[in-house]
Chain A
Amino acid sequence: MAADPREQALRTALLQRADAWKAAADRARRLTTHRTDDVNDAAKLVDEYRLLAHDLARARRLMPESRARSFLESAYAQAHAALFKPASHPGYALWSLFRDQIPEAVRWLRPHIIWVSLLFVSSVLVGGWLVHTYPELINLFASPDLIATVERGELWTEGLLNVVPSSVLSLQILTNNIVVSLFAYCAGFLFGLGTFYIVGLNGLMLGAIFAFTAQHGLDDELFRFIVAHGCVELSVMVLSGAAGAAVGEALIRPTTPRRGQSFQRAALRTGRVIVACVVLLVGCGFIEGYVSPNPEFPLWTRVIVGVGYWLFMIALLRGWLFGRSRSAVPIEA
């Protein structure tokens, strides 16, 4: 140990404040996990934060390998976290998310939405053309069971409710849709290619199956089945694809000096849209479980449900449902 008496005295004086450190650490720990309405309590933490900073700076110099220094590092980090913890207003945060943040993120995503929509529509057309021109290619897009059912002149959706109850069907469908939507978003991490693959494949399958059912005179039936839930479901697919594409673009053409930071910004910004997508897919699941397979609903009812839910989606994405004015000034999303 060092023999310098001045340093010895400084070390001793430092350690004599150990009780104050413990009090500061206890307060910091308490205020990190609990709220307080006592201004004095919060003010004391500010004072103790300064005390800890002062003593930690000394401990790092005078006794770098000591347990006291380790304790101070921990207490100081805890006090820092408690002091710089943002205010928590869950209700307001949720309202703000749907009123302002999601609409701004959607506005920011507009170019991506257009491009991904074009990709999706092109894939549908290509899928339809391929199966129309080369009917045997349906084997690439549909299962043998599905093909056999359509070749018998039936849709695989007929009698669905006799096999699975609506509630179960809804849960299965919405879970599957949410996972696909999240995958389309996350796959944007592969420089957007994963997203394009998922969106393109879904488009090809839709076009191919429509063309295949048209060859057997069942396309009207398929449209009848899809229209109630499909308007929003396909829009959400495009929306989550656009979010994934934005994440991919942030990696290809970073908007900040560091690629990782650009990726992080895009992910956090577009993640808000994914919240809206999940909410909308829950609704789609219920429509697909209760309305779409039920033969008692006539076509006009299905069209009203589909278009109505699509308009609801627009209102949600524009923030109108939560009181956002049509002339709201854009804010940074």
Chain B
Amino acid sequence: MSERSDAALEAPTASTAPDLVVDSATGVEVSLPLAGPGARSYAFVIDWHIRVVLAVAWYVVGALVYNRSWSLGAPLEPDAAWFGLVVLPAAAIYLLYHPALEIAMRGRTPGKRMAHVRIVTHDGAIPSVPAHLIRSVFRLIDSLPVFYGIGLVSAVVTKNHVRIGDLAAGTLLVYDRNDEGVLEHVSATALGTRLDAHTAEVVNELLARWETLDPDVRTRLARSLLTKLQGADRDTLDDAALRTRLRELAGGSRAQ
């Protein structure tokens, strides 16, 4: 296993991130782009909001049920039911959110999922339960003095952008590559006959992103492609007709 920055081998989705490169039995290395402090912070902020909302929601509902009135305050003489049913579960949601979800979701949390990152070991595998627990326990250090100061500084200055908990547990945060699909709009028969590999990817990309592209831009791109591939001038075709022509050229959707 090694970590390196190799421009020639980087994926287009994470062109500036150094990679965790793991040897494999096939001789072809597994390459995982390391997540930096930005992605880490983004995931953490989302998770923090989720756990705060969940914990507060539990407390509010619990307090309303316990008090049997529109009051959220603690009773003057709190009993075991107050702590056991209102305070403790809310605290558990807040404190156990990360270890519980990371174990259950195999290195992910909702925030990490949204930030497209996940936790892996140095050999690219899903971390064990003890590793997840150690990683979480060391949050006590990472969160010092305030707002995860030590963890953030550690993520900035360390080579692999890891916090102390990661150092202790032997884990890393890597990007989940954006694997939306490949050639979903180009048929196998079109490949090699009507389209070469490069053009097939361009046509596929254009059809995949058709709805999200600016109409002027997609029309210009489609005209240019069709003119290049089919020779004739396509200036008279409208947006819908251009899309239909491109679909015909690509030979239909393989994904559907």
Interface residues of A (CB under 8 A from B): 1, 8-9, 11-16, 18-19, 21-22, 25, 32-33, 49-50, 53-54, 56-57, 60, 63-78, 80-81, 84-86, 90, 93, 165, 167-168, 171, 175, 179, 182-183, 185-187, 189, 247, 260-261, 263-264, 267-268, 271-272, 274-275
List of B residues within 8 angstroms of A71 by Cβ: 177, 179, 181-182
Question: Complex Cα distance A264/B134, Å?
Answer: 10
Which residues of chain B in 158-172 are interfacial with respect to chain A, using CB atoms and an 8 Å cutoff?
A: 164, 167-170
Chain A minimum-CB-distance residue to B150:
A189
Kindly provide the distance from the CB of B208 to the nearest chain A CB, expressed in whole angstroms.
9
> Is the C-beta of B11 less than 8 angstroms from some C-beta in chain A?
yes
Contact B183 A264 (CB under 8 A): no
**Sampled A-B contacts (29; CB under 8 Å):** A1-B196, A1-B198, A11-B197, A12-B196, A16-B192, A22-B182, A25-B179, A63-B197, A63-B201, A64-B9, A67-B182, A68-B183, A70-B11, A74-B176, A77-B32, A80-B30, A81-B126, A84-B124, A84-B125, A90-B129, A171-B88, A175-B91, A183-B140, A185-B137, A189-B168, A260-B167, A261-B170, A268-B168, A271-B133
**B201 in complex: contacting residue of A67, A90, A185, CB < 8 Å:** A67
**B30 / chain A contacts, CB cutoff of 8 Å:** 76-77, 80
Q: Nearest residue in B to A68 (C-beta to C-beta)?
A: B182
Judged by a CB distance under 8 angstroms, whether B73 is at the interface is no
A50 vs B24: C-alpha distance in the bound complex, in angstroms? 10
| Closest 4 pairs (CB-CB, A-B) | A11-B197, A167-B80, A74-B179, A53-B26
Which residue of B is nearest A261, CB measured? Answer: B170
A182 close to B31 (CB less than 8 A): no
Residues of chain A lying within 8 A (CB to CB) of residue B196 = 1, 8, 11-12
User: A56 contacts which chain B residues (CB < 8 A)?
Assistant: 28
**Which of A14, A175, A272 contacts B197, CB < 8 Å?**
A14
- Closest Cβ of chain A to B96, distance in Å, is 12
Measured in the bound complex, the distance between the Cα atoms of B124 and A32 in whole Å is 13
Q: Cβ of A14: which chain B residues have Cβ within 8 Å of it?
A: 197
Q: List chain B residues, Cβ under 8 A from A16.
A: 188, 191-192
A274 CA to B130 CA, complexed, in Å: 11
B207 in contact (CB, < 8 A)? no
- Complex Cα distance, B183 from A32, in Å, reads 24
Q: Decide yes or no whether B78 CB sits under 8 A from chain A.
A: yes
What is the total of A-B residue contacts with beta carbons within 8 Å? 165
A15 to B140, Cβ gap below 8 A? no
Residues in A neighbouring B140, C-beta threshold 8 A: 179, 182-183, 186
Given A60-B9, A84-B125, A271-B130: A186 in contact with B138 (beta carbons within 8 A):
yes
Of the candidates A1, A49, A78, A85, the one whose C-beta lies within 8 Å of that of B26 is A49
Q: Are B188 and A67 in contact (CB under 8 A)?
A: no
Which residues of chain B have C-beta atoms less than 8 A from A9's C-beta? 192
B31–A73 CB distance below 8 A = yes
Given A168-B80, A189-B141, also A77-B168 (CB < 8 A): no
Q: Is B28 a contact of A53 with CB atoms below 8 Å? A: yes
In the bound complex, do residue B177 and residue A272 qualify as a contact, i.e. CB atoms below 8 Å apart? no
Against A, the Cβ 8 Å flags (1 = close, 0 = not) of B167-210 are 11110000011110111000010011000111011001100000
* A13 CB contacts on chain B under 8 angstroms: 192
Whether B123 is near chain A, meaning CB under 8 Å from some CB there, is yes
CB distance from A74 to the nearest CB of B (A): 4
- Residues of A within 8 Å of B134, CB to CB, are 267-268, 271
Nearest CB of chain A from residue B138's CB, rounded to whole Å: 6
A264 adjacent to B169 (CB under 8 Å): yes
Residues of B within 8 A of A60 (CB): 9
Q: Are A70 and B126 in contact (CB under 8 A)?
A: no
Q: Which of B27, B78, B125, B197 has the most chain A CB atoms inside 10 A of its CB? A: B197
Most buried by A among B78, B106, B192, B254: B192
Inter-chain CA distance A69–B164, complex, in Å, is 33
A80 and B181 in contact (CB under 8 A), knowing A14-B197, A64-B9, A168-B83?
Answer: no
Residue among B28, B82, B169, B254 with most chain A CB within 10 A: B28
Residue of B nearest to A78 (CB): B179
